[in-house]
Amino acid sequence: SAVISQKPSRDICQRGTSLTIQCQVDSQVTMMFWYRQQPGQSLTLIATANQGSEATYESGFVIDKFPISRPNLTFSTLTVSNMSPEDSSIYLCSAMTGEQFFGPGTRLTVL
Amino acid sequence: EDQVTQSPEALRLQEGESSSLNCSYTVSGLRGLFWYRQDPGKGPEFLFTLYSAGEEKEKERLKATLTKKESFLHITAPKPEDSATYLCAVQAGNTDKLIFGTGTRLQVFP
């Protein structure tokens, strides 16, 4: 298994600003993932982040809006850029260590 | 298109009243089917992975089964602490990403 932490746990931001979410895994992993969970809905994959390569984005998500960094095998960041109220959501990171484990999420509210 | 459907959307049970949650899927090349539990305000907690039809896995009051078209999560004699949203996800093709269903919100009353 893997223990995954995220920072911040929650934030309230003004529209037009950007927020960077950090994800730390307690072991080295090849693949990390970023998901979005909108209120009352299930999880939607934003992108897959492999160390040493560009992130792979799902349909409907673009790098300019959600830039991702993956500097090493235990850490990744997701930035939500030029935020609008529609970006209010829970953002979750996960990692593959045999199974896929999730962090506790970052609850983002955009005013 | 790969699709995962969970039913019912919500389920209310009396403590001790056993029941099943359903996850039906349409995917090309299933590699694994995952069950997670999610409590309010928290990330999904891994429960089970099933890889092939006929496989079963158990953990305390939960048992997951898999056929070629669906999976069931059986809850035997549930307790109030089993109240949560249960999510099903599939991994298919040559990718490691998970495709999630919309979940079943379970409430168990004493």
Length of chain B: 110
Average pLDDT along chain A? 94
pLDDT (0 to 100) of residue A40:
81
Tell me which of A47 and B95 has the higher pLDDT: A47
Task: Identify all chain A residues contacting B97, using CB atoms and an 8 Å cutoff.
Answer: 33, 45, 48, 58
Distance from CA of B76 to the nearest CA of A (A): 25
Question: What's residue B65's pLDDT?
Answer: 98
Three-class SS of B36-73? EEECCCCCCEEEEEECCCCCEEEECCEEEEECCCEEEE
Q: Which of the two residues, A98 and B71, has the higher pLDDT score?
A: B71
Q: Please name the residue of chain A whose CA is at the shortest distance from the CA of residue B33.
A: A99
Cα–Cα distance measured from residue B107 to residue B99, given in angstroms and rounded to the nearest whole number = 24
**Among A42, A48, A101, whose Cβ lies nearest the Cβ of B101?**
A42
Burial of B84 (0-12, 13-18, 19+ CB in 10 A): buried
Put simply, whether B35 touches A (Cβ < 8 Å) is no
**For residue A63, pLDDT beyond 90:** yes
Query: What is residue B52's predicted lDDT score, i.e. its pLDDT?
Result: 93
CB-CB neighbors (< 8 A) of A92 in chain B:
43-44
Are B50 and B67 spatial neighbours (Cβ–Cβ below 8 Å)? no
- How far is CA B48 from its chain centroid? 8
Q: pLDDT by residue (tens digit) across B9-67?
A: 999 999 999 999 999 999 888 999 999 999 998 999 999 999 999 999 999 999 999 99
- A1: number of Cβ within 10 Å: 10
**pLDDT attached to residue B53:** 94
Nearest chain A Cα distance for residue B109, angstroms: 22
CA distance B98 to B79: 29
Pairs of CB atoms within 8 A across A/B: 47
For residue B45, list chain A residues with Cβ-Cβ distance below 8 A.
Answer: 102
Burial of A48 (0-12, 13-18, 19+ CB in 10 A): buried
How many C-beta atoms surround the C-beta of residue A77 within 10 A? 18
* Residues B55 and B72 sit within 8 Å (Cβ to Cβ): no
Task: Evaluate if residue A50 carries a pLDDT over 90.
Answer: no
Q: How confident is the model at residue A41 (pLDDT cuts 50, 70, 90)?
A: confident
